[in-house]
């Protein structure tokens, strides 16, 4: 059996050529397709292969996004570094003495006042100011404004410009002191501030006083929340009050529900001030015209279930009447140039009113032998109240408990002295001795179902007096009229 021939040896290059040749033949067989033409001839159809340069193009496309991502990363890092450096420079500039001085000057020019700051600290997270004080010359109505514990969070745009911007600048405490001007002056319009731009300015506990230094203020607002906002396209400010307490002169302290006012073109307009007292009492104030230089302040007043003790003054006529009254309209006016120029005029009415303290009521209860006349309760009352610094007066007074008592006339209090005159009406059934003769000649014959007599008031609020008993003593009384022991004692 013949031996197999020796196997042929191949070099590496020949082996690689054979492999490539085999791949091409396999690829041509896969890509070749036998096709029969219409004339019956047969041919091999070979698919076209894409050129290798397209594959190279795809490789280059994959590299481009990687390069762009690298460039973006480098650019972002550079931008962060530049922003950080700029921010540090801006913070350093805002905390410099030069910026504080420029801010003080700009704010002082806008408010026409001297401005002083204490411990200003500005950073991107929270900026603080320990206190800010504005002081005016003293010749005008504003005297001083003190704000403390101010803080805000600045917008990022603040550090790219020279202006402090933010949503709200808050102060914890604030006190504004006003007083009569020392000479004629005009209200100044607020100028635009160069370094501040906030959406609103808020003070959590705001106090306001109007009065002469060393004397009790005639207007005192305390513990109220004040918010101020810029008026759009008007260059003024809008003020909003929430909570707190307000006192006008000798009135009782009223609880503030809400107040709204505007400062524009050198004038202040009080849009509304709603207050409460007790459980149901309300007092509402509204400016009838803007407050300007030399212009008397005029406010509309509306009272709802307002206690008479507070309306008339607890240390004044308020000790003589108890109950609640309504006043649909009235006016409160004062001259800002004078300390005690306030005047209040209201027409009031009320139900379930009680009267006490008048001496003639005790005398009437004695001669009629009915204790309910000593302190009448549950009556209706109406009248016109006028108050100023010198006197308190109720005119056109009418107090009535049907079929019991009627009082009409005027009551005046001035320097704690009581005066005035009242017409006292008593039911004819209690006063007439006969059909034509009253028991006391000081009383008239019946008119409108009552016998009438005039009572002149005097004395002080501590010890009121009148001429009621003197008129009874001067009147002849028949023995069968049943003269009261009190009248007998006074006559002796």
* Mean pLDDT taken over the chain: 80
Tokens of 462: 């501590």
Q: What pLDDT score was predicted for residue 184?
A: 59
Q: What is the pLDDT of residue 157?
A: 76
In this prediction, residue 66 carries a pLDDT of 64
Share of the chain above pLDDT 70, in %: 73
Give the model's pLDDT for residue 35: 67
402 in a structural domain: yes
E-strand ranges in 310-442 read 321-327, 330-334, 343-355, 379-387, 392-401, 405-414, 417-427
Establish if 29 belongs to a structural domain.
no
Residue ranges of E strands in 179-329: 196-210, 219-230, 237-242, 245-248, 254-264, 267-277, 281-287, 297-307, 321-327
| pLDDT tens sequence across 188-198 | 555 656 677 88
pLDDT score at 31: 55
Q: Around Cβ 167, how many Cβ atoms within 10 Å? A: 12
Mapping DSSP to helix (H, G, I), strand (E, B) and coil, where does residue 402 land?
Answer: coil
Lowest mean pLDDT among 44-58, 124-138, 424-438, 445-459: 44-58
* Domain assignment present for 277: no
Indicate if the pLDDT at residue 483 is higher than 70: no
In DSSP terms, which residues pair with 425 in a beta bridge? 406, 452
Please report, in angstroms and rounded to a whole number, the separation of the first and last CA atoms in the chain: 183
pLDDT tens-digit map of 328-351 = 989 988 776 666 677 899 999 999
Evaluate whether residue 482 is within a structural domain: yes
Band (488; pLDDT cuts 50, 70, 90): very low
Tell how far CA 142 is from the center of its chain: 20
Q: Is residue 253 assigned to a domain? A: no
**Residue 113: predicted pLDDT:** 85
Q: Are 206 and 176 in contact (CB under 8 A)?
A: yes
Q: Is the pLDDT of residue 490 over 60?
A: no
434 in a structural domain: yes
Rounded-to-10 torsion of CA 80, 86, 87, 92: 150
The C-alpha angle with vertex 219 and arms to 228 and 339, in degrees rounded to 5, equals 120
Overall number of domains in the chain: 1
Q: Is residue 470 part of a domain?
A: yes
Of the pLDDT bands very low, low, confident and very high (cuts 50, 70, 90), residue 485 is very low
Q: What does R_g of the chain's alpha carbons equal in angstroms?
A: 47
116-125, 370-379, 382-391, 457-466: range with lowest mean pLDDT: 116-125
Can you tell me the mean pLDDT for 437-450? 89
Whole-angstrom CA distances from 427 to 237, 400, 401, 443, 485 are 61, 11, 11, 11, 22
Reported residue count of the chain is: 492
Task: Tell me whether residue 182 is in a domain.
Answer: no
Q: Give the pLDDT confidence of 44-80 residue by residue, as tens digits.
A: 665 655 555 555 555 555 556 666 676 677 776 666 6
Domain enclosing residue 473, as ranges: 391-492
């Amino acid at each position: 059996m013949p031996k197999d021939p020796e196997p042929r040896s191949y070099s590496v290059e020949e082996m690689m050529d054979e492999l490539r040749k085999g791949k091409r033949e396999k690829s041509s067989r896969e890509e070749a397709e036998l096709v029969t033409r219409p004339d019956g001839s047969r041919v091999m159809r070979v698919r076209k292969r894409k050129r290798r340069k397209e594959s190279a193009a795809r490789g280059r496309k994959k590299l481009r996004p990687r390069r762009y991502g690298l460039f973006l990363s480098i650019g972002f890092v550079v931008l962060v570094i530049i922003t950080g450096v700029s921010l540090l420079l801006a913070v350093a500039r805002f905390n410099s003495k030069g910026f504080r001085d420029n801010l003080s000057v700009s704010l002082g020019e806008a408010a026409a006042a001297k401005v002083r700051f204490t411990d200003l600290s500005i950073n991107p997270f929270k900026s603080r100011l320990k206190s800010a004080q504005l002081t005016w010359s003293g010749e005008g109505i504003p005297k001083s404004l003190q704000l403390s514990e101010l803080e805000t969070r600045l917008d990022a745009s603040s550090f790219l410009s020279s202006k402090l911007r933010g949503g709200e600048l808050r102060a914890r405490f604030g006190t504004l002191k006003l007083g009569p001007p020392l000479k004629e002056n005009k209200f100044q319009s607020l100028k635009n501030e160069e370094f501040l731009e906030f959406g609103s300015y808020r003070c959590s506990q705001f106090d306001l006083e109007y009065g002469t230094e060393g004397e009790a203020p005639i207007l005192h607002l305390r513990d109220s929340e004040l918010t101020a906002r810029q008026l759009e396209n008007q260059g003024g400010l809008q003020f909003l009050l929430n909570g707190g307490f307000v006192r006008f002169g000798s009135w009782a302290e009223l609880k503030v529900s809400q107040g709204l006012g505007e400062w524009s073109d050198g004038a202040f307009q009080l849009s509304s001030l709603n207050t409460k007292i007790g459980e149901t009492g309300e007092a509402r104030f509204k400016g009838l015209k803007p407050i300007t230089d030399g212009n008397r302040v005029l406010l509309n007043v509306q009272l709802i279930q307002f206690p008479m003790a507070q309306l008339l003054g607890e240390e004044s006529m308020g000790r003589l009447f108890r109950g609640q009254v309504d006043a649909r309209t009235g006016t409160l006016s004062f001259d800002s140039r004078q300390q005690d120029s306030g005047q209040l005029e209201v027409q009031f009415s009320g139900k379930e009113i009680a009267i006490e303290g008048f001496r003639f009521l005790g005398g009437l209860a004695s001669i009629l032998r009915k204790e309910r006349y000593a302190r009448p309760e549950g009556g209706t009352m109406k009248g016109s109240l006028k108050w100023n610094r010198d006197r308190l007066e109720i005119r056109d007074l009418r107090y009535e408990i049907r079929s019991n008592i009627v009082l009409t006339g005027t009551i005046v209090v001035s320097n704690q002295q009581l005066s005035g005159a009242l017409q006292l009406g008593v039911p004819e059934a209690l006063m007439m001795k006969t059909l034509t003769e009253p028991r006391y000649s000081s009383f008239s014959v019946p008119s409108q179902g009552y016998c009438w007599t005039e009572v002149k008031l005097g004395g002080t609020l501590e010890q009121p007096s009148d001429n009621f008993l003197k008129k009874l003593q001067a009147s002849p009384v028949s023995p069968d009229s049943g003269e009261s022991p009190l009248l007998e004692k006074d006559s002796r």
